[in-house]
Amino acid sequence: MFGVTRLTQRNAELQAAQQEIRRLAVAEERARTARDLHDILGHSLTVVAVKAELAGRLLELDPARAATEIADVERLARQALADVRGTVGAYRGVKLATELAGARSALAAAGIAAELPETVPSLPAERDELFGWTVREGVTNVVRHSGARRCEIRVGPATVEVRDDGRGPAGEPGAAGHGLVGLRERARRLDATVTVGRRPDGRGFQLRVALPAAAGERDGG
C-alpha cells in the first residue's frame, strides 16, 4: 500500500510539473511575440511618422517629393503589416542589408546626415540577424530620441555600432527601452555583449553589440 501511495503521489507531482512546463512555455512564447511586435512596430511607426511629417512640410514647397514620401509611407505601412503577420506566424527574419537600406531612408527623412558602410562582411545567418536588429533598434532611437544631426553605422565581422552626435534616449546615458531588452536577449543567445551609453569621446551616444573575440577570428576578422 505504501508503494502504491508513493507511486500515485509521484504521478501527481509529474503531472503538475508537466503542466507548469507547458504554462512557462506559453508565457515565454507570448513574451517573445510581444517583444518582436514592439521592435517591429516601434521602428516602422517611427519612420512612418517622420515621413508623414516631412510630406506635410513638402506639400506646398515640392509636391512631387511629397508624393514620393507619401508613397513610401504606404509601402512602409504594408511592410509593417506583413512583418506583424510574419511574426505571428513565427517565420519572420531580419537581414542586416535590408535594415541598412531602411536606416538610410529613415535618417534622410529625419534630416540626419548618415554615414553607412558601402559593403558589409559576409556573416553567419544568426549574426547577420542580430546585427540587423541592432541597426533597427539603434536607428529607431536616433530618430526618435537623440536630437542628433549625424549618425554613423559601423559593421565588422564581430561588432556593429550605431553612433550619433545627440543626447541619447531621454538625455540619460544608459537609458534603456523595451527594444534594448529584446536586443540583449537576442545577443545573449550568441554570447554577445550590448553596450549603450555616451561615446568614449563624449561627443554623442552609441549602441554597440560585440561578439567574443574568437568569433571574429573564426570569420577571419
Q: How far apart are CA 34 and CA 17, in angstroms?
A: 26
Neighbours of 109 (CB within 10 A): 21
List all residues 6 or more positions away from 88 whose beta carbon is below 8 Å from its beta carbon. 33
Strands 193-198 and 159-164: unpaired
Sign, CA torsion 136/142/143/149 = negative
Cβ atoms of residues 166 and 204 within 8 Å? yes
Neighbours of 73 (CB within 10 A): 19
Cβ atoms of residues 139 and 161 within 8 Å? no
CATH (residue range 1-92):
1.20.5.1930
The confidence score (pLDDT) of residue 169 equals 61
In a structure prediction context, what are the per-residue pLDDT tens digits for the chain, which is 221 residues long? 666 676 777 767 777 776 767 666 556 656 666 666 666 677 777 888 888 888 888 888 888 888 888 888 888 887 777 777 666 555 456 889 988 988 988 898 888 999 999 888 899 999 999 999 999 889 988 888 778 899 999 999 999 999 999 876 654 444 445 678 888 988 998 999 999 988 888 788 999 999 987 565 556 55
Does 94-221 match 1-92 at the fold level?
no
The confidence score (pLDDT) of residue 219 equals 64
In this structure, which topology does domain 94-221 adopt according to CATH?
A: Heat Shock Protein 90 (3.30.565)
Q: How far apart are CA 218 and CA 20, in angstroms?
A: 40
Q: Which three cell numbers stand for residue 1?
A: 500500500
Q: Where are the domains of the chain?
A: 1-92, 94-221
Q: Enter the pTM of the model.
A: 0.63
> Closest Cα partner for 138 from 117, 161, 115?
161
Q: How far apart are CA 31 and CA 29, in angstroms?
A: 5
For 100-158, give the secondary structure using H, E and C: HHHHHHHHHHCCCEEECCCCCCCCCHHHHHHHHHHHHHHHHHHHHHHCCCEEEEEECCC
Sign, CA torsion 207/133/151/169 = negative
The confidence score (pLDDT) of residue 172 equals 44
State which H helix or E strand residue 14 sits in. helix 2-61
The confidence score (pLDDT) of residue 29 equals 56
Cβ atoms of residues 51 and 72 within 8 Å? yes
Angle among Cα 62, 68, 70 to the nearest 5 degrees reads 100
